[in-house]
Chain A
Amino acid sequence: MTIPFDLLLIQVINGIVTGMILALVASGLTLIFGIMDVVNFAHGELFMLGAYLGSTVFLTTGNFWLALGAAVMGIGLLGAVIQTTTLRPLLGRDPLTTILATFGLSLVLQNYALWQYGPVPRKINEPITGHFSLFYLEYPWYRLLVAVLSAAIIGGLWLFMKYGKYGIWIRATTQDRVMAAAMGIPVPLVHTVVFAIGAAMAAASGVLFGPLTGVNHAMGLDFILRAFIVVVVGGMGNLGGSILAAIFLSLLEAFASIWVSPAQAVIVSFVVLILTLLFRPTGLFVPTPK
């Protein structure tokens, strides 16, 4: 069986576009896990609420960029509130309790969205509507813009972590919470800020993703599972690994969906996850310590 080259190329582009959005969601998740051992089950809901907040601002102002900014600020703030009220009391307890608490939150947030916004999906319009010819397809420029913007946000995070004063604080706290505190780093504040950053990144991806499929209350459920898989495959807490894993898995799924429906293509990711856990439990892209 031969696969036409044009189809393959289209799927590569599709895979990279969804991979970048997924990377944006997953890097927040892995950042949060790396620094405070919190498995944030509510991350998909922050993604979804970001999309809703974006759509609300978009409906009133008609400005996509304003919507993106508002969602990032609003959900970042919500993240800070969630961290201080729900997760701070759990610090030092079994990481499993954080799954339970954030699972409870995700139920609340998801049903809140359903209650507030109703079951009918909402739409956010693309800020640019042009297309370009890609073989037999008219490919929207917006999709490429999404990939570029996601890459820019991730790049910004990387620069911040690498060179920023607070980036060094965050990395030091990730490595050794106790010693970081002994060096005068306000660890509780760092935790709150990291959670807020992770939430804001989820919100940004929600708004970017909004124009592609519309905004609905269940969109977080689908994404959180994929983000979990990405984070584990990339190595829990490993930022670079998550980004690679997001693109790798999205490409795999894009190829798989040449033959099967996208709903079934997800299984490819599941299988990669299980193989990773069995053979390289510290992550696909890092050597397993002996």
Chain B
Amino acid sequence: MLSVQNVHTYYGKSHILHGVSIDVGPGEVVGLLGRNGVGKSTTLKTIMGLVRPSEGTITFEGRSVAGAAPYHLARLGIAYVPEDRRIFRLLTVLENLRTGLDRPGVPPERRDALLAKVYGSFPVLRERRNQAGGTLSGGEQQMLAIARAMMLEPKIILLDEPTEGLMPRMVAQIHEIIDVLHGDGVAILLVEQNVRLTLEVSSRVYFMEKGVVRHHAPAADLRRNDAVIHQYLGV
């Protein structure tokens, strides 16, 4: 469904991605692991159209989307949950959700159903719906960022380190949400530092090093044999 082939990306003059190739099938949860600064976040940003690749192809459901405008990609069904969450801090929780909900062609019943569903998964967001996004705690902001992405009814969500800085209880909740999304048939490309979580939720895992994908294996194999993990992550 999403296919990234030999993508090169630059920030100004520094060459960040040196030919990254990743595939995600429909409804598949795929992990992307690697140490800090190897280009995992840049890979997600490049897919989302926030950085323009200088070379390589990105196709989504068969059409080429490399260099397309982010809002166009969002409408096609790619949602993005950035590492720093990027909540609209001065907008209320409900308004944050509405940025994704107020698309053309969403009838009122479906809007209500979507909101109800997200409030069901994240009851705290219903409680705080009229509170400014910036006043939420870190964990609540993460919930909001994921909930906001769900408003787009995406076919794939690009999740960048959703558990970073969260308490274990919150991490468990993120785990649940990923399972729920997976159950709904939403594909996920998950960038994480939390190896255990990644291996539990993903079907396949890619390992990145210095701007390229070095290794790629089914998560089941990695759960049995952690030598590869030691090799690429040094844990």
Contact = CB atoms under 8 A, between A and B. Distances in A.
Interface of A: 165, 168-169, 171-172, 175-176, 178-188
Contact of A184 (B75, B90, B96): B75
Contact of B88 (A171, A186, A188): A171
A184 B148 CA distance: 11
Given A179-B88, A184-B71, A187-B71, 19 more contacts: A171-B91, A172-B88, A176-B86, A178-B50, A178-B70, A179-B86, A180-B71, A181-B69, A181-B70, A181-B74, A182-B79, A182-B82, A183-B71, A183-B100, A184-B74, A184-B99, A184-B103, A185-B99, A186-B71
B32 to A, nearest CB: 18
Interface string B65-109: 000011100110001101000101111000110111011000000
B152 interface: yes
Q: Interface of chain A, helix or strand or loop or mixed?
A: helix
A283 to B, nearest CB: 15
The list of the 6 closest CB pairs from A to B, nearest first, reads A184-B74, A181-B70, A179-B86, A165-B102, A182-B80, A183-B99
B152 A184 contact: yes
Contact of A183 (B50, B69, B89, B152): B152
Contact of A182 (B74, B96, B98): B74
Nearest to A176: B86
A186 B100 CA distance: 11
Nearest to B92: A168
Interface of B: 48-50, 69-71, 74-75, 79-80, 82, 86, 88-91, 95-96, 98-100, 102-103, 148, 152
Nearest to A189: B71
Nearest to B89: A175
B139 to A, nearest CB: 19
B71 A181 contact: yes
Given A179-B86, A182-B80, A184-B152, A168 B99 contact: yes
Given A169-B102, A183-B148, A184-B100, A175 B91 contact: yes
Contacts of A188: 69
Given A169-B99, A172-B99, A178-B50, A185 B91 contact: no
A104 to B, nearest CB: 28
B76 to A, nearest CB: 9
Chain B CB count within 10 A is highest, among A169, A178, A184, A186, for A184
Contact of A168 (B70, B95, B103): B95
A98 B98 CA distance: 31
29 contacts: A165-B98, A168-B91, A168-B99, A168-B102, A169-B102, A172-B88, A172-B96, A175-B88, A175-B89, A175-B90, A175-B91, A176-B86, A178-B50, A178-B86, A180-B71, A180-B88, A181-B49, A182-B48, A183-B71, A183-B74, A184-B71, A184-B74, A184-B75, A184-B99, A184-B100, A184-B103, A185-B99, A186-B71, A187-B71
B99 to A, nearest CB: 5
A179 to B, nearest CB: 4
Nearest to B154: A184
A175 B91 CA distance: 9
Contacts of B90: 171, 175
A185 B70 CA distance: 9
B222 to A, nearest CB: 30
A117 to B, nearest CB: 41
Contacts of B88: 171-172, 175-176, 179-180
Contacts of A171: 88, 90-91, 95
A186 B152 CA distance: 14
A196 to B, nearest CB: 19
A209 to B, nearest CB: 32
A165 B104 CA distance: 11
B148 A172 contact: no
Given A168-B99, A168-B102, A169-B102, A182 B91 contact: no
Nearest to B158: A182
